[in-house]
Amino acid sequence: MPTLGDVQRLYEFLRRHPTGVDTFWAVLLVGSGFLWLVEASIGADSRIVGGPIVLALGTTIALRRRAPEKMLGLAILCGLAQMAVDIRPNPTDFAMLVIVYTVAVTSSRQVSRFALGAAVCAPPLATLRWPPHAHQTWWETAVSAVFMSIPFVLAWVLGDSIRTRRAYYAQLEERAARLEKEREAQSKVAVAAERARIARELHDVVAHNVSVMVVQADGAAYVMDASPEQARQALETISSTGRQALAEMRRLLGVLRTGEPGEENEYVPQPDVEQIDELVEQVRGAGLPVEFKVVGSPRQLPSGVELTAYRIVQEALTNTRKHGGPDVGASVQLTYFDDGLGLLVEDDGRGSQREMYEDGGADGSGHGLIGMRERVGMVGGTLDAGPRPGGGFRISALLPLKPVR
């Protein structure tokens, strides 16, 4: 007994060989046509001419999907030939219904309408050529012709509706494919943005903490023999700074970890405005005098704004240590407005070269200021960085509290 799998395989085979299926039905139709020719009460000459007509109509069935427009023309010629040699409608004329349906499904709109017109004209012509009854009135003949046209019209309507449905499904598939491509593109953009964010975070963490560790290590090496106690304090600062840097890097790289069984991912909160005070104390401990001032009433801010503010101050103080020169001092001021947070970081050192803050560095080393501008842009703020008129360097930023739309 055939199983569901056998039926499915048979169905797939038939779908892969549509011409073979049509040829099978064409053979059956041609066989019934020849039987009709043998039994019909027509002359010998009509039978001789009728044989090629039957074969031609069978051909329209066999090749209807390969060349529907040509088969439509062949079916019309067969119909005219039947009228010319007086071969009345017979079973093989069913091929005309099939070809009208096929053209409505597969051909252009213009050819489909032509097929509909030919199909509507065929029954009246056949009625005039072979009247059903000699005693019928003209309006009875007209009604008969109309009823004979109905199957052809229904075949065309069915084919046209299937054509419309297939076009609709094709549009849906195209839209789905387009949306899939858009989702892939958005995913790539999101991945690139996340990588850029992690790169900025890593730059800020490494640049700041490593610079503090280098300064402390140099100081410890300088006073190791003369002042062991100061050297020990410097080493402790290096140790705590390294732990802080390691904790932040674990937070940043935690999203890249697989989370294997038994492995506990360690995360720390993102830095916020309240930790700027600790940052300033850390920088002071590294030997850079920093004045810190808060103007306005401190309050809870969006996490993105707080992280941006912290990173800007961190990068600005790191740049001061790198480019400010000896005996440099800095100041940090936070100003709470009703609709935003203002940042002002200044130093009295020699500052950096102009190309470092205009184009991100002629040698590609000015990524810190580039990262600042990207961070501020992500929260919809503004940033102004450059040398002060009286010497030194200034970084001013305004971070709005309203979300970016």
Task: Evaluate whether 393 touches 346 at the Cβ level (below 8 Å).
Answer: yes
C-alpha distances in Å from residue 228, one per residue of 168, 219, 233: 83, 11, 9
What's at 238, amino acid-wise?
I
| Mean predicted confidence (pLDDT) in 232-254 | 71
* pLDDT in the model for residue 404: 45
Q: Are strands 290-295 and 330-336 parallel, antiparallel or unpaired?
A: parallel
Please check the confidence at residue 294 and state whether its pLDDT lies above 90.
Answer: yes
The highest-confidence range among 79-88, 184-193, 253-262, 350-359, by mean pLDDT, is 79-88
pLDDT grade for 405, boundaries at 50, 70 and 90: very low
Residue 96: helix, strand or coil by DSSP?
Answer: helix
pLDDT of 245-259, one tens digit each?
A: 776 666 666 655 544
Question: Which pLDDT band holds residue 264 (cuts at 50, 70, 90)?
Answer: very low
User: Residue 343: what pLDDT?
Assistant: 94
**So where are the chain's domains?**
4-130, 272-278+286-405
Give residues with Cβ within 8 angstroms of 311, minimum separation 6: 200, 201, 204, 271, 371, 372, 375
- Is pLDDT larger for residue 213 or for residue 19? 19
The pLDDT value given to residue 198: 65
The 3-state secondary structure of 221-271 reads HHHCCCCHHHHHHHHHHHHHHHHHHHHHHHHHHHHHCCCCCCCCCCCCCCC
Q: Which of 220, 217, 214 is nearest to 322 (CA)?
A: 214
Q: Which of 14, 39, 100, 38 is nearest to 64 (CA)?
A: 100
The residues near 19 (Cβ < 8 Å, ≥ 6 apart) are: 62, 63, 65, 66
3-state secondary structure of 87: coil
Q: What is the pLDDT of residue 258?
A: 43
Q: At 208, is the pLDDT very low, low, confident or very high (cuts 50, 70, 90)? A: low
Of the listed ranges 230-234, 337-341, 349-353, the least confidently predicted one is: 349-353
For the chain, the average pLDDT equals 81
CA angle 378, 400, 296 (to 5 degrees): 140
Better-scored residue on pLDDT, 324 or 362: 324
**What does the alpha-carbon distance between residue 294 and residue 332 come to, in Å, rounded to a whole number?**
8
User: What pLDDT, on the 0 to 100 scale, is given for residue 363?
Assistant: 38
Residue type, 159: G
DSSP track, 159-206: HHHHHHHHHHHHHHHHHHHHHHHHHHHHHHHHHHHHHHHHHHHHHHHH
Q: Supply the pLDDT for residue 62.
A: 93
pTM of the shown model: 0.50
As a 3-state breakdown, the chain gives helix, strand, coil percent values, each rounded to 5, of: 70, 10, 25
Q: 388 or 73: which carries more pLDDT confidence?
A: 73
**What secondary structure does DSSP assign to 299-322, as a single string?**
----HHHHHHHHHHHHHHHHHHHH
What is the pLDDT at residue 364?
A: 40
> Per residue in 161-177, pLDDT tens?
999 999 999 999 999 98
Contacts for 310 with CB less than 8 Å, ≥ 6 apart: 271, 272, 273, 275, 276, 279
- pLDDT value at position 81? 92
Higher pLDDT, 311 or 358: 311
* Right CATH for 272-278+286-405 from 1.10.40.60, 3.40.50.620, 3.30.565.10, 3.40.50.2000: 3.30.565.10
Which SS3 state, helix, strand or coil, does residue 370 take?
helix
**Average pLDDT estimate for 198-216:** 69
Confidence of residue 206 (pLDDT cuts 50, 70, 90): low
